[in-house]
């Protein structure tokens, strides 16, 4: 997994609540495309006009926000489907960090598995950041995970909270499968105890094989 320590770059405001993962990447793109190809379809329904050209009104197409690596957005971002492709499409598009009042629970876990930092801030603070991006000169922002601080274009700093475990995993770019397998003795011991307590869980041959 890609490490995350500190990034500086363009930040784009997309202040809409409940942006779902079907909007981030439509279902029809989930088959037949490699992960690295998904960026072309990120926010597809809003990003392109019916003739396939860029929709100039879509915020990520505006010259000011091109190449953004930080997204400032509304409540419940990434709700809906569990598709991790939503994270891959956004990462391919260049995003490393999303700031919102809240995120869909499954999207939240998926992002951290891919080196993407999601920051929860109170709604007023998110709206203030978005307003600053829209009014200020260059909409650039620095996100420092080590210090847990966002620096807005004006230089104003906002502190954010994050689970210690998730923070450490991002800073180190951890491979969680490897780390968990290092605890396989614990897992096997759990299963051994559990086989005694709940033997039916492990008896999975069918009574009658489905025809």
Q: Is 172 in the site for another protein (CB under 8 A)?
A: no
H or E element, residue 15? none
- Distant-in-sequence, close-in-space partners of 120: CB < 8 Å, separation ≥ 6: 100, 101, 102, 103, 160, 161
Taking residue 96's Cβ as centre, other Cβ atoms within 10 Å add up to 20
Q: Is 81 in the site for another protein (CB under 8 A)?
A: yes
Tokens of 93: 């598009």
H or E element, residue 96? none
Distance CA 75, CA 17 (A): 5
Q: 140-144 and 149-151 as β-strands: parallel, antiparallel, unpaired?
A: antiparallel
**Which of positions 40-69 make contact with another protein (CB under 8 A)?**
45
Q: Is 87 in the site for another protein (CB under 8 A)?
A: yes
Using the minimum distance from each CB to another protein, give the nearer residue, 56 or 207. 207
Q: Is 163 in the site for another protein (CB under 8 A)?
A: yes
Using the minimum distance from each CB to another protein, give the nearer residue, 157 or 161. 161
Q: Is 171 in the site for another protein (CB under 8 A)?
A: no
Q: Is 116 in the site for another protein (CB under 8 A)?
A: no
Q: Which of 3, 49, 66, 183 binds another protein (CB under 8 A)?
A: 183
The 3-state secondary structure of 21-75 reads HHHHCCHHHCCCCCHHHHHHHCCHHHHECCCCCECCCCHHHCHHHCCCCEEEECC
Min dist CB 165 to another protein, Å, is: 3
Q: Single out the segment in contact with another protein by CB under 8 A; choices: 2-10, 89-97, 153-161, 188-196.
A: 188-196
Q: Which residues bind another protein (CB under 8 A)?
A: 15-18, 20, 22-23, 26-28, 30-32, 45, 74-76, 79-85, 87, 102-106, 109-110, 113-114, 163-168, 176-177, 180-181, 183-184, 186-187, 190-191, 194, 198-204, 206-211
């Amino acid at each position: 997994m890609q490490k995350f320590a500190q990034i500086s770059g363009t930040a784009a405001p997309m202040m809409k609540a409940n942006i779902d993962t079907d909007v981030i990447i439509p279902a029809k793109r989930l088959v037949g495309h490699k992960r690295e190809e998904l960026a072309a379809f990120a926010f597809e329904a809003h990003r392109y006009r019916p003739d396939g050209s860029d929709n100039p009104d879509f915020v990520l197409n505006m010259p000011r926000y091109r190449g953004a690596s930080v997204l400032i957005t509304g409540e419940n971002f990434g709700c809906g489907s569990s598709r991790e492709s939503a994270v891959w499409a956004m990462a391919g598009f260049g995003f490393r960090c999303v700031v919102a009042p809240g995120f869909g629970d499954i999207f939240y876990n998926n992002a951290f598995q891919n080196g993407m930092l999601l920051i929860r801030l109170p709604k007023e603070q998110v709206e203030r950041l978005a307003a600053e991006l829209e009014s200020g000169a260059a909409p650039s922002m620095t996100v420092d995970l080590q210090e847990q601080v966002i620096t807005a274009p004006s230089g104003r700093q906002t502190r954010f909270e994050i689970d210690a475990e998730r923070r450490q995993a991002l800073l180190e770019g951890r491979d969680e499968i490897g780390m968990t397998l290092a605890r396989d003795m614990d897992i096997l011991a759990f299963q051994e105890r559990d086989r005694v307590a709940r033997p039916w869980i492990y008896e999975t041959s069918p009574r009658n094989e489905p025809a």
